Structure formats: structure tokens, C-alpha cells
Amino acid sequence: GVGQDLVAMCVNDLICNFAEPLFFLDYYATAKLEISDAKEVVKSIAEGCKLARCALIGGETAEMPSMYEKSDFDLAGFAVGITEEDEIDRSKFVREGDALIALPSSGLHSNGFSLARKVVAELGLKFDEKIGGRALIDVLLEPTRIYVGDFLNLKDKIHALAHITGGGIVENLPRVFPEGLGAKIEHAAIRTPEIFKIIAQKVEPAEMMRTFNMGIGMIVVAPKQNADFVLARTDGYVIGEVVKGGGVQLV
């Protein structure tokens, strides 16, 4: 599933600029190319591209034994999308009173793994332990959700999108606000999956909010009158609203 993570991190950023993904290219580098391993990775990249409704048009492979050891590999990629020039800057559309609607994440979403590994080790957890009926390793490595389909269904009814990656809600959401506006979010409204609660046993609350998505992969900023439209067509739920001020107020 790592290939889907790679695609997701690119296309989920693109749609925040209201760009529809067109195509994707990848790069796979390793010490010695094992065809079976490479095929698995490229297959997951292709699956990600299907979910993102874009074409996988090519890629590059490199063998560099002096750079990598054994089965280590390095994966990179980029996506190109298209949008109207006057649609790229979404902050000019955001208004006081707009609803903030959270679209759930599928898990850690490619962020915070160094800290998650450290906590798992400190707690003495085993990767085959069950978390909500699933093995811990499967929960940790759940591929990043791709929100392109949601975007295409909502595009004409919303003002902005915030991709919640490294930096969490507190650092990513303010990017969509014009000067003088910010967010008021009900902390209790956030539906936090069990895996984040486990990690939080060893991490301060403020650091959790800065490092992890806490169960929210994308935040939709929509006019209040369009909130029901968004809620009816997604698995989203309201967590707050746009208010005067700046930054993110967690209440």
C-alpha cells in the first residue's frame, strides 16, 4: 500500500488548489532491483492512481548499491493537475460563518511514523496485537485515503479544502484563511480513532495535534447553507466554523 501513500500525498495537495489530477510519475531506487518487490510497489501506485482518477504515465528505476543497503528502497513521485488560474487561491472565497466539515482519515496518513514507532517500542506493543479487531501493524500501515472523488462531487458547493498532514490541524487549516479570519473547532467533536489514543499515552496533547491528523484527513470549508449538501454526499461531520481572528481555537 505504500504506493497509494505516495500518490495520495501528491493528489490530496493538488485538490486543495482546486486542481483535478491529470497524471502521475514515480521514481523507485534501491540497492538491487528485486522484480517481485518492485512490481508490488508499482501495483499499489497504479491502484492509487485509479482512486485519484489520474493516469500513471511513466516512471524511473535506479540501482544504487553504494547508496542503499539490502532491501532498502527510496520512493518518490509527482502529480500534475489542471485548474483555472483564478481558482487556485482559495482564501479569497472563505467567509466568516462558513462551516468546517471533517472528512475522516484512514489512519496515520504517511505522517508521524518516527514518533509512532518510538511509542510502540516504549509501550512494549507487538505488531500482531489486536486494535479494534485488526493487527496493530495493519492499522499503522493503512494506506492514506485519497479524496479526489469527494472533491469532484463537492467542487461547486465549497469554498476551500485543507489537507491535514504533518503539522496537524493547527498548522494546515490556517493556510486557507484570509487575513482576519480563523477557525473555532470543538475539540470534543473530533472523532479520534483508537490508534491515536494509544500513541497519546506517551505524547503531550499539543504535540499530538501538531504531529498527527487525529482522525481527520481533510477539512472542507463550505458556506453554511451548503453544509447539508456536503454531509449528505460524504462521511464528513461538522467540527466548527470560520470566525473573526486568526489561527485555530480549540474549545
**Domains in the chain and their CATH numbers?**
2-87 (3.30.1330.10), 91-250 (3.90.650.10)
Nearest to 94 by CA among 173, 3, 152: 173
Q: Which positions of the chain have pLDDT values less than 70?
A: none
Whole-number pLDDT of residue 70 = 87
Q: What is the DSSP code (8-state) at residue 31?
A: S
Distance between CA atoms of residues 95 and 163, nearest Å: 19
Whole-number pLDDT of residue 82 = 98
Distance between CA atoms of residues 95 and 177, nearest Å: 9
3-21, pLDDT tens digit by residue? 999 999 999 999 999 999 9
150-200, pLDDT tens digit by residue? 999 999 999 999 999 999 999 999 999 999 999 999 999 999 999 999 999
Q: Tell me the residue type at 38.
A: A
Give yes or no for a contact between 189 and 183, defined as CB atoms under 8 angstroms apart: no
Cβ partners under 8 Å of residue 90, min gap 6: 16, 17, 18, 159, 160, 161, 176, 221
Distance between CA atoms of residues 128 and 125, nearest Å: 9
Q: What are phi and psi of 67, to 5 degrees?
A: -100, -35
Full DSSP string of 97-111: T-EEEEEEPSSSTT-
Whole-number pLDDT of residue 193 = 95
Give yes or no for a contact between 46 and 83, defined as CB atoms under 8 angstroms apart: no
Crossing angle of helices 35-52 and 2-14, rounded to 10°: 30
Q: What is the DSSP code (8-state) at residue 159?
A: S
Q: Is 2 left (phi over 0), alpha (psi -120 to 50) or beta?
A: alpha
Nearest to 146 by CA among 215, 48, 39, 44: 48
Q: What is the DSSP code (8-state) at residue 125?
A: -
Q: Where would I find the H helices in the chain?
A: 2-14, 35-52, 113-123, 136-140, 148-154, 168-172, 194-199, 205-211, 227-233
